[in-house]
Amino acid sequence: MNKKIENFIDGDFIESGGNSIPVWNPQEGKIIAEVNDSSSNDLKIAVKAAKSAYIGWSNKTLKERTEIFYEFRNQLIDNLNPLSESICEENGKTFQEAKAEVLKGIELTEFACSMPQIINDEIQEVSRGVECRSSHEPLGVVSSITPFNFPIMVPMWTIPNALILGNCMILKPSEQTPIGSQNIAQLLKRSGLPDGVFNVVNGGKEIVESICDHPDISAVSFVGSTKIAKIVYKRSTNNLKRCLALGGAKNHLIVLPDADEEMASNDILASMSGCSGQRCMAASAMVGVGDIDSIVKKMVESAEKIVPGKNLGSVISEDALKRIERYIDEAEKDGAKIILDGRNFKVKGKEKGYFIGPTIIDYVSPNMKIAKEEVFGPVLAIMRTNEVDEAIKIENRSSYGNASSVYTQDGRLADYISERVSAGMIGVNIGVPVPREPFSFGGWNNSRFGVGDITGKSSINFWTRLKKRTTKWNKGAKRNWMS
C-alpha cells in the first residue's frame, strides 16, 4: 500500500475525495506514494479555514509573526538531512543538490525574518498638527502554485514572506513532488503557526483553475512553465486578482575567447548539468564569439567526470526523459554535431531510473528548435559567431529572458553585453546568476508575467497593499484645504 499524500487544512492532514495521482521516485522508476487530486470543493474548505485564521493572524504584530519563523528556521536547520533525503526521493536530484536547496530555503526564511527591520512604513507631519502615515497591509487569503523542480525552495520563495506580512496561504505544490510541502506544513505547525494560516491543497489542473476563480483568494503567485504561467496569469487577472507568474527559460551564455578557460568550462558545465538541467537558471544555449574551441574541448573532457547515478541525478519522469532525448535526436537530424552524448544511459542497479548524461551539441543554428525551446534537461546547445553584436542579437531573439551570462576578462565588454542582453538576471563569469537575498529573483519577457519580482524586497509590494491614514487630534492644528 503506497503512502497517501493528503491535503493540509486548518492544521490537520485530511484526505480529499476524487482520484489520486501516483508520485514516482524518478531515480528508481517506481511509485512511492499517491497524492489527492483535489476538487474545487476541497479548495472551498481550505479557503474557509484560511479566511477564519486571517482575522487572528493579521491582528498579530509583525514581530509576533516573525518570531514563529525564527523557530521555523531552526526547525529547517535541525531537519536539514531528512528534508534533503525526501527531496532526492521524489525529485531525483543528488543529496548535495537537495541540501543546497534546503539551505537556500533557510536563507529565504532568514530574509523574511528581517521584515521588521526592512519594511518601510512611513509617517510624516504633512501640515502643522496633521500626520500622514502609510502602512503595508496584508491582502487576506493568497495562493502559491509551484513546479516540480525545487519541492522546498520554490514554495519557500513565497511562504515566509507572504505569511510574515500577515496573509494566510493556500499552497498548491506540483503533483509530481508533493512531499516537500507536507514536510514544510509539519515544521510550520511544530513552530507554532496557528491552524489555518498555512494550508496545502494537492492536485493538478482542476485545483489550479479553482484557485484562479475563487472569489476569496486575493493574489496568486505561480512558478512553472510559460504555457501554464500564461493561462494562470490570464485567468487570475481576469478574475481581478493580482498575479505574478514566473515561466520557463532559455538562458544564453555569451562566451568570449579571452574567458578564463578553467573557470568558464567548469562553471558552464555545472550550470547546464546541475539538477540534471532542470533549473530555470540553467545554461541552455551558449553563444561562442570567435575561437572558443579550447573552452569547448575542456568542457567535454571535464563532463566525463559527471556520471549519472553517481554525481548526477535523474530527470523527473519517463515523459521528461523522452522529451529531452527527442530534442537531441531532432538537433542531430537538423545537422548539429553531438560532441557529448548522454542518451540511453543506464545506471547499474537503477535500470528503471530516468537518467541522461550531460549532452553538448555544437554547431547549432539559431533557427533550430534546440536553440529556441526550453529543453529542461542536461543539454547545452552551442552556437557560434565572430561578432559580439551578433551574439547579443541571438540572445535578444529568444522569447524568454530569465537569465543570461557573459564570460570574458574584459570589463568593458562585459558591461557592453550585460547592458544589451534582454534578461532579468545577468551573470558576469557566473553560470547560475541567482541573486542572493535580499536581491530579488525574477526574469523578463516570457519568463515572467506581472509586476515585480518574487523574492527579496520586491515581494513586499506583491504581498501587501498600502493603507494611507491622515490624522489630526489637535483642534487648533493649522487648517489647510483638507481640514
Contact status: 317 vs ligand NAD (CB under 6 A) = no
Positions 372 through 401 that interact with ligand NAD (CB under 6 A) = 374, 376
Q: Which is nearer to ligand NAD, 288 or 378 (CB)?
A: 378
Could you tell me the CA-to-CA distances from 176 to 11, 63, 182 in Å, in that order?
23, 36, 13
**Could you say which of 115, 145, 255, 269 contacts ligand NAD (CB under 6 A)?**
145
Q: Which is nearer to ligand NAD, 218 or 402 (CB)?
A: 402
Kindly state the helix (H) or strand (E) to which residue 410 belongs, with its residue range. none
Sequence-distant (≥ 6) Cβ neighbours of residue 304 within 8 angstroms:
none
Backbone phi and psi for residue 465, each to the nearest 5 degrees, phi listed first: -130, 150
Q: What is the DSSP letter of 194?
A: P
Q: Closest Cα partner for 403 from 292, 234, 286?
A: 286
Positions 252 through 281 that interact with ligand NAD (CB under 6 A) = 280
Which range binds ligand NAD by CB under 6 A, 201-209, 252-260, 378-386, 426-434?
201-209
Q: From start to end of 348-410, where are the E strands? A: 359-362, 379-385, 403-407
Contact status: 6 vs ligand NAD (CB under 6 A) = no
Q: Which is nearer to ligand NAD, 362 or 395 (CB)?
A: 395
For cell 550550470, the residue is 271
State the Cα–Cα distance between residues 143 and 203, nearest whole angstrom. Answer: 14
Tell the smallest beta-carbon distance from residue 303 to ligand NAD (Å).
22
* Residues 416 and 388: beta-carbon distance below 8 Å: yes
- Binding track, positions 228-247, relative to ligand NAD; x by CB under 6 A: x--x--------------xx
Sequence-distant (≥ 6) Cβ neighbours of residue 412 within 8 angstroms:
none
Contact status: 208 vs ligand NAD (CB under 6 A) = yes
Positions 429 through 448 that interact with ligand NAD (CB under 6 A) = 443, 447
* Residues 259 and 408: beta-carbon distance below 8 Å: yes
How many residues sit in the footprint of ligand NAD (CB under 6 A)? 27
Cα 65 to chain center, whole Å? 24
Q: Is 280 a catalytic residue?
A: yes
Which range binds ligand NAD by CB under 6 A, 17-25, 37-45, 142-150, 348-356?
142-150
Residues of this chain that interact with ligand NAD (CB under 6 A) are 145-149, 154, 172, 174-175, 204-205, 208, 223-225, 228, 231, 246-249, 280, 374, 376, 402, 443, 447
Residues with active-site annotation: 280
